[in-house]
Every structure is written in C-alpha cells, then in structure tokens.
C-alpha cells in the first residue's frame, strides 16, 4: 500500500463531496436537524399531567390534598368536576389523563384518625405515562399522609413518629432525572451510525453507475488503497459531525460531560470506521446507489434505534431479542458514550464494550476490501 495512491483516491473523493451539495447537506445538515428534532421532541419526562378533580368533601383537609397536587410540577389541575359523568367525559375526550375523586366523609375520617380512601382514575392508553403518573400521585398522597401522622402525634403530645424503615434515596449520574441527559448521548450514536453508513453506501456504487470504475481498475490502485482512500474523506466528515453534536449537547441541551473528551473521540473514531465500512460493504456488493442506500438505512436505523438501549432498556426485552442485540454495534457504543457522558468512567471500565467495536470496525473493513477484490476478479 502506497500513501501517494491512497491520498490521490482521497483527494478525488474530497473533490466529489465538495462539488456535490447534496452530499454536504446529507453529511452536515441532517445530523443537526435530527439532533434538534429528537432532542426537543423525544422525551420520557412526565410533567404537568392534566388532572380533573371531583372534591365531594369540600373541606380544608380535602383542599389541602388538592393543593399538594397543584403544587407539584408533575400535575396540573385542568378541570373541576361535579360528578362522574364529567370525569368520564374528560377522560374519554383526552382532556385529562388523571382524575382525583375525594369522598364526602374524607375530612371526618381524617379528623378522627381513621383511614380514608381516595380514588385516582388514570387514562392508561399510554401505559408508560400512566405508570409514571401513578407513581407521582402515590408519592404526593404518601407525603400528605405522613404530614397528617406528624400532626396527630403532636396533638397527642408525642414527640413524633419514627417509621420502621427510613429510606434516604440518592440519585447518581443523572441527579435531576432528566431524560434529555441520556437521550442526547444515545442519539449521537444513532446518528453517527446512520449517516456514516449512508454516506459510504454511495461511493463505490456511484463509480459503477457513472462508468468510472473501469478506469480505476486499470490504474495501479489496489483494493485496500481504494477502500481506505474513499473512507478517509467521510471519516473526516463524520468526526466533524461528532464535534457539532457534542457542542450542541453541551451548549444547546446542557448535557453534562463528566468524562474524558479525548477518550470519547477516540472510541467514536473506532465506531465510525465500522459504520463507514458497513456502508462501503453495501456499496461494493450491490454496485447500485439506490439498493445500497436502502440496505444501509434498513441495517442501521431500526437496529440502532430499537435494539441499542438508546430508548428502550435491553434488560426488559425478551431473551431472544436480548441475544440479537449483541450483534448491534450501537449497543456497545451507546453504553460507552453514556458511561463517558454521565458517569465519567475511564477506558478500564469501558474496555468490555470497546473491544466489540474494534472487532466490528476491523472485521467490516476487511470484509469490504475482500469483497471488492472479488469484484475485480
């Protein structure tokens, strides 16, 4: 392999990218648009859940309970109902996602130190939102109940009530429980995988369609020089996209970066080589831009989005699907990038997930080179 021939192929590809505005838009604008779109739209946070309240008690005790919900950032009292028909209609129309019904004897039972039952109705058409909202509602009611117990203890001359178990929780790595803090790093991985494979899926196939491949075959350029030469420009573009994505994550979405930035770029470079080689493999094997781009999209977007742990936890997937996720490179890079971003861990901790990325990159690069040799023969 000679550096002069490799740089000549790279220079030719750089010129093509510069002269083709569509490639530049695909390479730079689309990652920015995807980050903006997913960063602002995709969220797992449940805030300001619209709620209807039917207060049948209408007492200071019931109003205090309602005020607990109003004072929480997780609920918003959107409607005051006067009966079950209004509550049912609001839930049916989707005007509210939750409804709180306080019975008439609520205050009497609370004042006499007896247990009172309140009803919470939830629209579970969105099961995830309903589950999270239920947890928030239980926390609000539990806090109100604890305050009532303390008041009764003081009224009876007791010093206080000591619960049998005192839970003091502490949240690590994402103290504010902001879904954006783990969505943005995972999104960087997904975007890199998709864009890199799409870009290189058009390279060799374009040469065949334009009739210039025969000229390249007639030159002394070897298969490794051609493959690496065509990968190099897109590797530079991919690293530029990574710089833009990291900058947007820090200054636009305010995602904390607790780990080493050089380590992030180093492992990302390994992952990027594998993603580029995957697109190159499709380009070499199909000789046509359209099927190559379709294969690149099919083999990158859905696996990276659904099977990488980017949004959905791998531990909650069926055993068969969990086994399949081991074949998805984004699974390992998502774990690596979240570890660097949120946990600040080093290479020693990430080595188990970095090793498959090395195998992925080297294996696909070798496969693309050998596949091209086969086409030459």
> What is the domain extent for residue 103?
49-155
Residues 143 and 200 in one domain: no
Pick the range with the lowest mean pLDDT from 11-15, 218-222, 327-331.
Answer: 218-222
Residues 148 and 103 in one domain: yes
- At 284 the pLDDT is 86
- At 52 the pLDDT is 93
- Whether the predicted pLDDT of 33 surpasses 60: yes
Residues 229 and 96 in one domain: no
134 in a structural domain: yes
- At 167 the pLDDT is 67
- At 364 the pLDDT is 92
Last residue of a domain, one of 121, 155, 189: 155
Residues 267 and 339 in one domain: yes
191 in a structural domain: yes
- Whether the predicted pLDDT of 374 surpasses 50: no
- At 160 the pLDDT is 55
Can you tell me the mean pLDDT for 193-219?
A: 79
2 in a structural domain: no
Last residue of a domain, one of 120, 155, 190: 155
Looking at per-residue confidence, does 322 or 177 come out higher? 322
94 in a structural domain: yes
Residues 205 and 309 in one domain: yes
- Whether the predicted pLDDT of 82 surpasses 70: yes
Instruction: Give the number of other Cβ atoms within 10 Å of residue 122's Cβ.
Output: 20
262 in a structural domain: yes
Residues 150 and 273 in one domain: no
* Distance in angstroms (rounded) separating the CA atoms of residues 222 and 131: 59
Split at pLDDT 50, 70, 90, the class of 373 is low
223 in a structural domain: yes
Residues 253-270: tens digit of each pLDDT? 989 899 999 999 999 999
Residues 353 and 259 in one domain: yes
Pick the range with the lowest mean pLDDT from 48-52, 94-98, 162-166.
Answer: 162-166
Split at pLDDT 50, 70, 90, the class of 321 is very high
- At 267 the pLDDT is 95
- At 36 the pLDDT is 87
Pick the range with the lowest mean pLDDT from 104-108, 111-115, 185-189.
Answer: 111-115
- Whether the predicted pLDDT of 186 surpasses 60: yes
User: What CATH number does the domain containing 132 carry?
Assistant: 3.40.1710.10
171 in a structural domain: no
- Whether the predicted pLDDT of 166 surpasses 70: no
State pTM to two decimals.
0.78
Residues 16 and 71 in one domain: no
Residues 122 and 246 in one domain: no
169 in a structural domain: no
Residues 203 and 329 in one domain: yes
Residues 30 and 79 in one domain: no
Split at pLDDT 50, 70, 90, the class of 290 is confident
Looking at per-residue confidence, does 217 or 348 come out higher? 348
Residues 372 and 237 in one domain: yes
φ and ψ at residue 161, rounded to 5 degrees = -110, 125
Can you tell me the mean pLDDT for 164-187?
A: 78
Can you tell me the mean pLDDT for 70-96?
A: 90
Can you tell me the mean pLDDT for 36-62?
A: 85
Number of domains the chain contains: 2
The three state secondary structure string of the chain is CCHHHHHHHHHHHHHHHHHCHHHHHHHHHHHHHHHHHHHHHCCCCCCCEEEEEEECCCCHHHHHHHHHHHHCCCEEEEEECCCHHHHHHHHHCCCCCEEEEECCCHHHHHHCCCCCCCEEEECCCCHHHHHHHHHHHHHHHHHHHHHHHHHHHHHCCCCCCCCCCCCCCCCCCCCCCCCHHHHHHHHHHHHHHHHHHHHHCCHHHHHHHHCCHHHHHHCCCCHHHHHHHHHHHHHHHHHHHHHHHHHHHHHCCCCCCCCCHHHHHHHHHHHHHHHHHHHHHHHHHHCCHHHHHHHHHHHHHHHHHHCCCCCCCHHHCCHHHHHHHCCCHHHHHHHHHHHHHHHCCCHHHHHHHHHHHHHHHHHHHHHHHHHHHHHHC
């Amino acid at each position: 392999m000679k550096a002069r021939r490799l740089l000549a192929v790279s220079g030719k590809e750089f010129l093509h990218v510069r002269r083709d505005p569509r490639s530049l838009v695909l390479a730079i604008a689309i990652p920015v648009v995807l980050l903006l779109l997913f960063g602002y739209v995709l969220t797992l946070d449940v805030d300001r859940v619209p709620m209807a309240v039917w207060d049948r008690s209408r007492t200071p005790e019931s109003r205090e309970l309602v005020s607990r919900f109003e004072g929480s950032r997780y609920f918003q009292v959107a409607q005051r109902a006067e009966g079950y028909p209004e509550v049912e209609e609001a839930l049916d129309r989707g005007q509210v996602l939750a409804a709180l019904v306080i019975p008439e004897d609520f205050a009497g039972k609370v004042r006499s130190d007896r247990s009172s039952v309140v009803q919470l109705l939830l629209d579970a058409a969105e099961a995830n939102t309903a589950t999270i909202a239920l947890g928030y509602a239980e926390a609000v009611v539990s806090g109100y109940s604890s305050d009532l117990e303390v008041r009764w203890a003081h009224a009876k001359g007791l010093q206080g009530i000591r619960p049998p178990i005192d839970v003091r929780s502490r949240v690590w790595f994402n103290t504010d429980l902001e879904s954006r803090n783990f969505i943005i790093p995972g999104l960087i991985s997904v975007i890199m995988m998709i864009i890199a494979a799409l870009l290189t899926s058009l390279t060799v196939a374009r040469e065949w369609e334009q009739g210039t491949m025969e000229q390249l075959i007639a030159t002394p350029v070897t298969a490794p020089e051609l493959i690496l030469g065509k990968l190099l420009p897109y590797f530079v573009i991919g690293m530029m996209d990574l710089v833009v994505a990291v900058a947007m994550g820090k200054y636009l979405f305010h995602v904390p970066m607790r780990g080493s930035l050089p380590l992030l770029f180093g492992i990302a470079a390994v992952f990027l080589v594998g993603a580029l080689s995957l697109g190159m493999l499709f380009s070499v094997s199909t000789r046509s831009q359209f099927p190559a781009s379709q294969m690149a999209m099919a083999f990158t977007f859905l696996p990276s989005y659904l099977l990488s742990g980017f949004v959905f936890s791998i531990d909650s997937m069926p055993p068969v699907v969990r086994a399949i996720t081991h074949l998805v490179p984004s699974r390992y890079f998502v774990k690596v990038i979240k570890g660097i971003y949120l946990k600040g861990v080093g290479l020693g901790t990430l080595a188990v997930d970095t090793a498959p990325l090395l195998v992925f990159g080297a294996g696909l690069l070798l496969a693309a080179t050998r596949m091209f040799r086969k086409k030459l023969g």
